[in-house]
Structure 1
Amino acid sequence: MKIMKTPQSVDLAITNRCNLRCKYCSHFTSAGDVGQDLPKEKWLKFFEELNHCTVMNVTLQGGEPFCREDLKELINGIVQNRMRFSILSNGTLITDETAAFLASTGRCNGVQISIDGSIPMTHDACRGNGSFYKAMEGIRYLQKHHVTVSVRVTIHRYNVGDLEGVARLLLEEIGLPCFSTSSASYMGLCRQNAEQVQLTAEKRSLAMETLLKLNKKYNGRINASAGPLADGKHWIMMENSRKDGKERIPGRGYLTACGGQPMNKIAVRADGMMVPCIHMSHIELGKINNYKLREVWHNHPELKRIRERCNIPLSDFEFCKGCDYINYCTGNCPALAFTLSGNENHPSPDACLRRFLKEGGKLPDVKLLITSNNIC
């Protein structure tokens, strides 16, 4: 993938604060859990630099962005610097007034809300009592003011049996065009609560099959770049390639990174430290306003190192020796690889199909795959 001259978009963790403590949160107890938030004035100065670098979009996250009392002023600074913005939120602090303000900016791409169940029992199991009804209220306020709403469902042991209910709630009752899914990954607070929330091989198999069936039922309206749905799609393709005797899948057999990072995106922690990705917040690239974004983007050795991971063949790793899937695999997320192995430039054990099958996991039927593109 070609490296952009400057980042097209930037992920901004504008606060380290959150009103919830979800059991699987990847932020807390990570390197991004840094204490005091960067003052408003320093963010506003950085927005001017983003404008000069022709950055088009920023994503506000945290923590919980709506915990910042000066959020409106920060958003006004984004708008004044001709950028558009999205927000990742748990939804519980969104009021009618807040939704009206977001709509009034004319620059809000949308708000992604986290919903983990169709009923309070499953949603609140990891997020805390009362969070379901507050998040649903936040969605209603956003819809009232015609702010684009998307939903991310994090799949864990408490809600794997409620996925049909979740799809019905989001796609039929609320009327969203689509929603996306991920899973509780071994980062942040999930490391402390892994035995409670992470999917076993058996539950992972169930989640993959259920989501593929639901995606077929709802004509591709469920999306995923990680988690059981993404795993199911990729692993079925890998197994079919092995059975068909394909030498390799084009572009596979080497380490890759997720999405565009760090080819067209970069991130900033709540304390103003630039990092390759919010989930790789231990790799510090320099504080905003002290170091020029353009210089960091093109010349920082850590970014160069991570970008070069796509040239590392999986055959270099003892972990992959003798694997039948080596020429069909990507090694998956570098952040999760670091958490599990201590090295970003290593295959992620959590994404290993061979290990999944050894642990008793089963792949879904290939007939569950749909050929149409997802619409999310």
Structure 2
Amino acid sequence: MLRISQYLREVAAAERSGTYPKAKRRVQAQGQSQTSTEPKPSGPVVIWNLTRRCNLTCKHCYALSADHDYPGELSFAEVCSAMDDLKTYGVPVLILSGGEPLLRPDLFEIAARAQAQGFYTALSTNGTLIDAPLAERIAAQKFDYVGISIDGTRATHDKFRRLDGAYDASLNAIRLLHAQGVKTGLRYTFTDLNDQDFPALLQLMKDEQVDKFYFSHLNYAGRGNIHRGRDARFDATRAALDLLFETAWQDAVAGSERDYVTGNNDADAAYLLRWVQRRYPQWAPALRERLVAWGGNASGVGVANIDNLGEVHPDTMWWHYPLGNLRQRPFSAIWSDRSDPLMDGLKTKPRPVKGRCAECEHFALCGGNTRVRAQQVTGDLWAEDPGCYLDDAEIGLSAEASARLSRVETTAFNYSTKLTPKTIAIHAA
């Protein structure tokens, strides 16, 4: 996740003072952002899909969820046992997700235990089930953050979510939570089905006094893979990011606390750097240092996923690739195991990427971007990311290098093939 507002606030502060601010590590403690000189937590942020059941069947769902029970989901006791290991391993954040996590009967008991152990505890929901009493209960639970998905204006959102009235229900949830003082955020997945609604959603954020806007690029997983032809074209992506950056910049200059972040396309870091270079070139070198320190794609390193059955994945978009199950091995053992070829490559610095990614001058910022898209399109984990919207000149690629790379043939691969460590190794060879 790229914290657009954090970096633009730094540039705004430099403009005011004439000096680029010193780096401060952000930590989360008891619902507040703080700075710290303590060692960085050793474990990743964990997105935990506590249940796969969902009352919606969204077009871009990576979990392919539906409204029925899924046998074999982790029990409360198993969740608690795993949580103990996560705490010992240094995991700082738990994002409780689904499916729809509010359909899990013991959700609030799980949240209470996570909070008692000191985790920053967030809730990721579609919001359609939140009425006034449930909003009061969520507020009483004191979640550090609640993210609600809004993928367009009313007609677009309802089509995306495949439920008439979904938009009104989710918007009402945002209003109810805001009235209870809960920190909330809008989560938006950008595709060519809903790109036209993006400006309206930015305005909605302001009108409803929402704290955070999460702009997610489409990633090729679950129904998002089935519908990857709906991925927004690159010109539209760039136009949307230009608007996002300008909106975040105006808020940063005005001292607003609204936050804007992006995810699932780490080329955004390079594009943000170019945006600053064109407007405030004197601060671009310092910003580049910050972005290099951030490091780009965090799959398998700074972010992890546990699904409803206890399978561990490098992130939520790798549900087709399990690393191990909590019922057989603790998370700490699974996450530290580099015998798996995918995890070994993700943890290798620099990652063994190929093509344009290998020759990109922004590789240190981006980390090779999202490996899922490369794998789903070519079968090669380390091929260039087909979702990179930067042109050859923007990544420092010469005409000669561009011509040479264009002659490289990519092995055709059926993206519906079930992936295993063995097939990963074969197609990465």
Question: What TM bracket, shorter-length normalisation?
Answer: 0.7 to 0.9
Q: Structure 1 pair 323/147, CA: closer, same or farther in 2 (3 Å)?
A: closer
Match of 1:351 in 2: 388
- Give the corresponding residue for 2:297: 258
Shift of 1:49: 2.9
Match of 2:305 in 1: 267
Instruction: Work out which of the residue numbers 143, 150, 157 in structure 2 matches 1:115.
Output: 150
How far residue 237 of structure 1 moved from its aligned partner, in angstroms, is 3.9
State the partner residue of 2:21: none
The residue that corresponds to 1:194 in the other structure is: 228
Specify which of 93, 96, 119 is matched with residue 83 of structure 1. 119
Aligned letter for 1:7? G
Q: CA deviation at 1:21?
A: 1.5
Pick one of 365, 372, 377 that aligns with 1:340.
377
Task: Say whether the 8 Å CA contact 1:79–1:105 is kept in structure 2.
Answer: no
Change (3 A) 1:269 1:115: same
Residues 318 and 194 of structure 1: is their aligned pair in 2 closer, same or farther, counting only changes over 3 Å?
closer
Q: Which residue of 2 aligns with 1:164?
A: 199
1:353 and 1:290 mapped to 2: Cα distance?
Answer: 43
With the length of structure 2 as denominator, give the TM-score of the two structures: 0.67
Q: Which digits, 9 at most, give the CA deviation of each residue in 1:222-270, with x for residues without a partner?
A: 6233368x756623646999xx9x9xx77999xx6524x4334432111
Match of 1:180 among 198, 214, 233: 214
Where do residues 1-376 of structure 1 align in structure 2 (5 Å cutoff)?
6-7=42-43, 9-28=45-64, 36-106=72-142, 108-117=143-152, 119-128=153-162, 129-171=164-206, 173-195=207-229, 197-219=230-252, 221=258, 223-226=260-263, 231=267, 234-235=270-271, 237=273, 258-259=297-298, 261-302=299-340, 304-312=343-351, 314=353, 317-318=354-355, 330-354=367-391
SS at match of 1:295: helix
Contact 2:352-2:382 at 8 Å conserved across structures: no
Deviations, residues 192-250 of structure 1 (Å, cap 9, x unaligned): 2334x32123433432333334334444746233368x756623646999xx9x9xx77
**Equivalent position amino acid for 1:191 in 2:** N
Point out which structure has higher relative CO (alpha carbons under 8 A, 6+ apart).
1
- Give the Å deviation of 1:92: 0.8
Task: Identify if the C-alpha distance between structure 1 residues 12 and 158 changes in structure 2 by more than 3 Å, giving closer, same or farther.
Answer: same
For the 8 Å contact 1:112–1:150, the answer to whether it is kept is yes
Unaligned runs of 5+ in 2: 1-38, 395-429
1:92-130 CA distances to partner (integer Å, 9 max, x unpaired)?
A: 112323222233234x2111111122x312322311321
Q: Answer with 322-331 or 51-60: which moved more.
A: 322-331
Give the deviation of 1:179 after TM superposition.
1.5
Structure 1 contact 257–333 (Cα < 8 Å) conserved: no
Query: 2: CA distance between counterparts of 1:204 and 1:272?
Result: 35
Kept in 1, the 8 Å contact 2:350–2:367? The answer is no
Q: Aligned pair in 2 of structure 1 residues 329, 170: CA closer, same or farther (>3 Å)?
A: closer
How many angstroms apart in 2 are the aligned matches of 1:339 and 1:355? 23
Which residue does the alignment assign to 1:371? Answer: none
**Measured at CA, do residues 43 and 330 of structure 1 come closer, stay the same or move farther in structure 2, by a change above 3 Å?**
closer
Q: Given the superposition, is the C-alpha separation of residues 91 and 58 from structure 1 closer, same or farther in structure 2, using an over 3 Å criterion?
A: same
Change (3 A) 1:100 1:213: same
TM-score (norm: length of structure 1): 0.75
| Shift of residue 65, structure 1, vs aligned partner | 0.8
1:285-311 superposed Cα distances (whole Å, 9 cap, x missing partner): 322142123323333423751344432
Identity %: 22
Cα distance in 1, alignment partners of residues 240 and 271 from structure 2: 14
Q: Give the distance between the partners of 1:140 and 1:79, measured in 2 at CA.
A: 25
Q: Which amino acid aligns with 1:159?
A: N
| CA 19–97 in structure 1, closer or farther in 2 if over 3 Å, else same | same
1:181-201 C-alpha deviation (Å, 9 max, x unpaired): 112233221232334x32123
**Residues 46 and 207 from structure 1, CA distance in 2 versus in 1: closer, same or farther, beyond 3 angstroms?**
same
Partner Cα separation in structure 1 for residue 318 and residue 387 of structure 2: 17
Aligned partners of 2:57, 2:386: CA distance in 1, in Å? 26
RMSD in angstroms over aligned alpha carbons?
3.6
Q: Which runs of 5+ in 1 are unaligned?
A: 358-376
Aligned residue-pair number: 337
